[in-house]
Amino acid sequence: MNQGTLFVVSAPSGAGKTTLVSHLLAAESQINASVSYTTRAPRAGEVDGVAYHFVSIESFKKMQAHGDFLESAEVHGNLYGTSRSWLQEQMRLGQDVLLEIDWQGAQQVRAVFPTAVTIFIMPPSIGELERRLRGRGTDSEAVVQLRINGALDEMRHVSEFDFVIINNDLDTAHGDMLAAVRAAHLRFSHQRANNPEVFSCIEQD
């Protein structure tokens, strides 16, 4: 059976992660996006089960206590978690999976899946990040400041990731995302697992 690849994408709020991931999933149909559970309220246009599984704090904590999450974290006062059983089933079937999680979640996932490919998306500058966050027009100044401070904390962990994409130009950043995914598929471990007949002539008894 083919070996799936687990991709972990992290970024501070306002770096453009949602847009880049959407473009990547449209271009790479073999990658399934994990739908996280969250206690935050849905934003305009978000559909339950598509953007997130929206649950109450009580439900989330029950799932957490039962060990239902591969990883979980609190971000800006809201709880987020990844379904352990869904991810394990996808990987068992050889399916590529993409997780959009923060640096805390990425650390937890690497402990379970050390071969996971981690990608961090950086804004070109803090000034540009502030402009993007304020340009949304959906958050108060206090929330914007909270997100900026959170972004700085998030970016301090960038060295823990395999690939770093600076999202200054959307087309360039999209190309870089594709390059990271395709490079991951060219790793020896992936190629040997998915093409054993090619390597059979050099395998040792």
How confident is the model over 41-63, as a mean pLDDT?
Answer: 94
Q: Are 94 and 1 in contact (CB under 8 A)?
A: yes
Does residue 183 register a pLDDT over 80?
A: yes
Beta strands 31-33 and 96-100 are parallel
Report pLDDT for 164. 97
- Residue 45 to residues 11, 19, 22, 41, 51: CA-CA distances in angstroms? 22, 15, 15, 12, 9
Delimit the domains of the chain by residue range: 6-34+96-202
* Structure tokens belonging to residue 149: 């401070």
Query: Cβ neighbours of residue 187 under 8 Å, at least 6 residues apart?
Result: none
| % pLDDT > 90, the chain | 64
Q: What CATH number does the domain located at 6-34+96-202 have?
A: 3.40.50.300
Using DSSP's 3-state secondary structure scheme, residue 1 falls into coil
Query: Cβ neighbours of residue 189 under 8 Å, at least 6 residues apart?
Result: 3, 115
| pLDDT tens readout for residues 123-145 | 999 999 888 888 776 777 888 88
Q: Are 174 and 24 in contact (CB under 8 A)?
A: yes
Continuous segment of H or E residues that includes residue 176: helix 170-185
Phi-psi region of 125 (alpha: psi -120 to 50; beta: other; left: phi over 0): beta
Residue 140 burial (10 A CB sphere; 0-12, 13-18, 19+): exposed
Q: Grade residue 1 by pLDDT with cuts at 50, 70 and 90.
A: low
Does residue 205 register a pLDDT over 60?
A: no
How confident is the model over 170-174, as a mean pLDDT?
Answer: 96
